[in-house]
Amino acid sequence: MRTSNYLVALALLLGAGAVSANEGGHAGWQRPANNEISNLPSLQRGARNFMGYCSGCHSLKFVRYSRLAEDLKISDSLRDTYIVKPGDKFSDYIKASMPAADAQEWFGKPPPDLSLVARSRGSDWIFNFLTTFYADASSRQTGVNNLQLPGTAMPHVLASVQGVQQAVWKAVEHKGEDGKAVVTPEFEKFEPGVVGGLNAEQYDEFARDIVNFLQYASDPTQVERQGMGIWVVLFLLMFTGIAYMLKKEYWKDVR
């Protein structure tokens, strides 16, 4: 009786541990995004960066300008200057400027809508995607490749901001499937190449702001939800406590 309880509890804990370690294999070069979803200035900068650099090709088709400005506390005038695209109404959804048909022709596939990318790929993925573009003139039409998404059709849109770094590879020998020694190139580190407007630290911040904004866009009410959650949990704990006292009082009868 008691033993089986412990067995089940142990199995559940092991399971929970296994699940949390389930967060995907992290290659050495992958860094956590470390964005703070409650950091309003960061979100505002991210919104501005996104509209400036990304919204040419990528839509946020489930996000309205008006809602964005309201949530991020951007004033009407700043909103109309930096956020709303010319010709759009402030209550419109954010569409990409590039027609989908053209994108298909130029890039092979239309640039995906990014309303939910932070939930489908995760903030870390986006951060690494934005920060690991490197020069690759030999094999890539765009002249760049990406560690997070090798072979990406996206050009390095932020090249003017980050610059274009060089990837340094090292030859690593390991056993192939047939037991013979195989040499494969493995990423070692980045080296500065073409210089951009920001240094590495500043660019990280720049990218982090965009990631932060995209995380907001994917789940606009997460901060409100967590705030409400604290009160709900406290209330429920109080209710449970009172109910427990009532139960104990009546169960005195049972012997």
Using CB under 8 A as the criterion, which residues of the chain lie in contact with other proteins when the complex forms? 1, 3-4, 7-8, 11-12, 14-15, 18-20, 22-23, 62-64, 66-67, 91, 115-116, 119-122, 218, 220-221, 225-226, 228-230, 232-233, 235-240, 242-247, 249-255
- Least gap, CB of 50 to other proteins (angstroms): 17
Of residues 63 and 158, the one with the C-beta less far from other proteins? 63
Neighbour-count burial of 127, counting CB atoms closer than 10 A to its CB (0-12 exposed, 13-18 middle, 19+ buried): buried
Task: Tally Cβ neighbours within 10 Å of residue 111.
Answer: 19
CB 153 within 8 A of CB 146: no
Of residues 194 and 238, the one with the C-beta less far from other proteins? 238
The conformation of residue 204, written as its DSSP 8-state character, comes to H
- Least gap, CB of 200 to other proteins (angstroms): 29
Of residues 68 and 147, the one with the C-beta less far from other proteins? 68
Distance between CA atoms of residues 97 and 41, nearest Å: 26
Of residues 8 and 194, the one with the C-beta less far from other proteins? 8
Mapped onto helix, strand or coil, the DSSP state of residue 176 is coil
CB 210 within 8 A of CB 198: no
Longest CA–CA span in the chain (Å) reads: 84
- Least gap, CB of 4 to other proteins (angstroms): 6
The conformation of residue 169, written as its DSSP 8-state character, comes to E
- Least gap, CB of 244 to other proteins (angstroms): 5
Of residues 4 and 75, the one with the C-beta less far from other proteins? 4
- Least gap, CB of 35 to other proteins (angstroms): 17
